[in-house]
Chain A
């Protein structure tokens, strides 16, 4: 990201290790998502690296094995990608049209970072699926996914709600709810064949 500035010989940047700096920024934002407080960090210094990493991780983990490749193997990765990014774009457009004063990329950044709890849920589900299948298995996964789903919504609400006019917060939050519901549903119903 800041490599372009470095190569142009610009005196604007003084950071010697831009990669480490960016990684630290991404990590800091992850922490902010995990412990959501009303802060402006995600909004002020937005970046799209975190959402990209999370999206790719999620899409990779949602791949089925290619044994029954005639069914679902191919479009799975693209499906997750498209859902995440078009969902985020739609929610952003919606919140802007409702009169919010948040910028396009800030909103994408927040929505992308708040997928982190669901990615963690996906990891846990994968681990749980290594055990023997059964109703207990399903209940555990259901519980984890519901908790992480609620966490995602709380986190994104903490960041997004302030940018909306106060009487329309519910209208802006509802599509966020649908978005994370669809992702949670994909995670919950994932079974590696």
Chain B
């Protein structure tokens, strides 16, 4: 690039990148690129305007400079300032090239139009799919259609995160290495994406007719219609709408702390949505072994996740959590201490229990 021929080539292509940049922007005007550089934006912020004006002026300067440099090409030996101009020219060209590449990469990756078809839903559709996700279907003989949308599952995952936060705060869960929010988001998204990928992999092994996108959406909502459908892009996790059951159960049981109630809801609501997902999967798989493997795994993971969410983030065993909380114990709580010689019999048993719990907690902590 540091040859005397460079300014000539650069001048000719100097006009190119500028107009090429315009072209790219105009072509991409119809798509919904995240429009950080969008010039037909309706915003009238002075900063943006001045920035663009400044940019255009600078580009014209570079152009003018390139033309001047080309004229002075012949006086290479005599001009002392030519080296400065050359280096400036080179720097400007590199800047142009880098900018071009960056904007191309940006418009490639920030083009959210890829996801647009998956958000094409109406509120009525979302509502009906939510309700249908709790109804197990009977037609397992031909493949059930799974709606490939991502709005419902995504919103359900966020709702689950909000409910988890609520549950964690009310039960004063102390998270040591990290934050409550991070934990909640990590758990929910991890479950959604992780379990979906795993089940998709299993489905691939068992030759089930389901794509990743459908899997993502199934773990979410799924609608039963009797037409075959194939989604060209990826497999959506249909785990999303399956989380609707989880949201309901957790929302109720984080507020009413009855274990019997939780187990009832766990079986009922969790069971219903699991049955629904299983039915859809069964309709799309052939062979009894494969069906058993796939659906058994999904059912187990789904139900166990609900159990985990309830018990991991909720105060269940008071003794263990008391010891983990350390010095912050409110005065009325029973605290395991050394068992003094004179102690009423009732408190003795309680203290022994707490001491055992403490020992268990200590061993758990040491892992």
> Closest Cβ of chain A: how far from B240's Cβ, in Å?
14
A44 touches B51 (CB 8 A): no
As a 0/1 sequence over residues 154 to 169 of chain B, the CB contacts with chain A under 8 angstroms (1 = contact) are 1100110110011001
Residues of A in contact with B, size category = 35 or more
> Closest Cβ of chain A: how far from B173's Cβ, in Å?
11
User: Which of A8, A76, A96, A167 contacts B112 (CB under 8 A)?
Assistant: A96
| Given A45-B43, A94-B154, A106-B43, 7 further pairs, Cβ under 8 A | A13-B50, A45-B46, A79-B182, A90-B158, A171-B123, A178-B155, A182-B165
> Closest Cβ of chain B: how far from A19's Cβ, in Å?
13
> Closest Cβ of chain A: how far from B147's Cβ, in Å?
15
As a 0/1 sequence over residues 33 to 46 of chain B, the CB contacts with chain A under 8 angstroms (1 = contact) are 01110100111111
A94 touches B51 (CB 8 A): no
A-facing residues in B139-193 (Cβ within 8 Å): 151, 154-155, 158-159, 161-162, 165-166, 169, 174, 176, 178-182
Q: Which residues of A contact B51 (CB under 8 A)?
A: 4-5
A71 touches B44 (CB 8 A): no
10 A-B contacts (beta carbon < 8 Å): A2-B46, A2-B47, A4-B47, A4-B54, A45-B43, A75-B178, A168-B121, A178-B155, A178-B158, A185-B169
Q: Please tell me if B119 contacts chain A, counting CB pairs below 8 Å.
A: yes
Task: Tell me the bound Cα distance from A98 to B182 in angstroms.
Answer: 27
User: Which of A96, A174, A175 contacts B32 (CB under 8 A)?
Assistant: A96
As a 0/1 sequence over residues 1 to 31 of chain A, the CB contacts with chain B under 8 angstroms (1 = contact) are 1101100101011000000000000000000
B35 touches A168 (CB 8 A): no
As a 0/1 sequence over residues 13 to 41 of chain B, the CB contacts with chain A under 8 angstroms (1 = contact) are 00000000000000000001011101001
Q: Please tell me if B116 contacts chain A, counting CB pairs below 8 Å.
A: yes
As a 0/1 sequence over residues 289 to 317 of chain B, the CB contacts with chain A under 8 angstroms (1 = contact) are 00000000000000000000000000000
> Closest Cβ of chain B: how far from A60's Cβ, in Å?
17
B43 touches A103 (CB 8 A): yes
Whether A75 touches B43, Cβ cut-off 8 Å, given contacts A178-B158, A185-B165, is: no
When C-beta atoms are compared, the residue in chain A nearest to B124 turns out to be: A167
Q: Which residues of A contact B154 (CB under 8 A)?
A: 94
Task: Tell me the bound Cα distance from A175 to B255 in angstroms.
Answer: 22
As a 0/1 sequence over residues 166 to 185 of chain A, the CB contacts with chain B under 8 angstroms (1 = contact) are 01101100110010011001
Q: Please tell me if B365 contacts chain A, counting CB pairs below 8 Å.
A: no
Task: Tell me the bound Cα distance from A155 to B85 in angstroms.
Answer: 55
Q: Please tell me if A39 contacts chain B, counting CB pairs below 8 Å.
A: no
Q: Please tell me if B49 contacts chain A, counting CB pairs below 8 Å.
A: yes
A178 touches B159 (CB 8 A): yes
Q: Among B34, B47, B159, B161, which residue has the most Cβ atoms of chain A within 10 A?
A: B47
Q: Which residues of B contact A46 (CB under 8 A)?
A: 43, 45
Q: Please tell me if B122 contacts chain A, counting CB pairs below 8 Å.
A: yes
Q: Which residues of B contact A175 (CB under 8 A)?
A: 155, 158
Q: Which residues of B contact A132 (CB under 8 A)?
A: none
> Closest Cβ of chain B: how far from A14's Cβ, in Å?
11
Task: Tell me the bound Cα distance from A99 to B32 in angstroms.
Answer: 10
> Closest Cβ of chain B: how far from A141's Cβ, in Å?
14
Whether A98 touches B151, Cβ cut-off 8 Å, given contacts A5-B54, A185-B166, is: yes
Q: Which residues of A contact B166 (CB under 8 A)?
A: 185
As a 0/1 sequence over residues 44 to 59 of chain A, the CB contacts with chain B under 8 angstroms (1 = contact) are 1111000000000000
Q: Which residues of A contact B38 (CB under 8 A)?
A: 103
Q: Please tell me if B126 contacts chain A, counting CB pairs below 8 Å.
A: yes
A171 touches B115 (CB 8 A): no
> Closest Cβ of chain B: how far from A16's Cβ, in Å?
14
> Closest Cβ of chain A: how far from B251's Cβ, in Å?
12
User: Which of B41, B54, B151, B328 contacts A68 (CB under 8 A)?
Assistant: B328
Q: Among B118, B180, B181, which residue has the most Cβ atoms of chain A within 10 A?
A: B181
Q: Please tell me if A143 contacts chain B, counting CB pairs below 8 Å.
A: no
Q: Which residues of B contact A13 (CB under 8 A)?
A: 46, 50
Q: Which residues of B contact A174 (CB under 8 A)?
A: 155
A47 touches B45 (CB 8 A): yes
B165 touches A105 (CB 8 A): no
When C-beta atoms are compared, the residue in chain A nearest to B169 turns out to be: A189
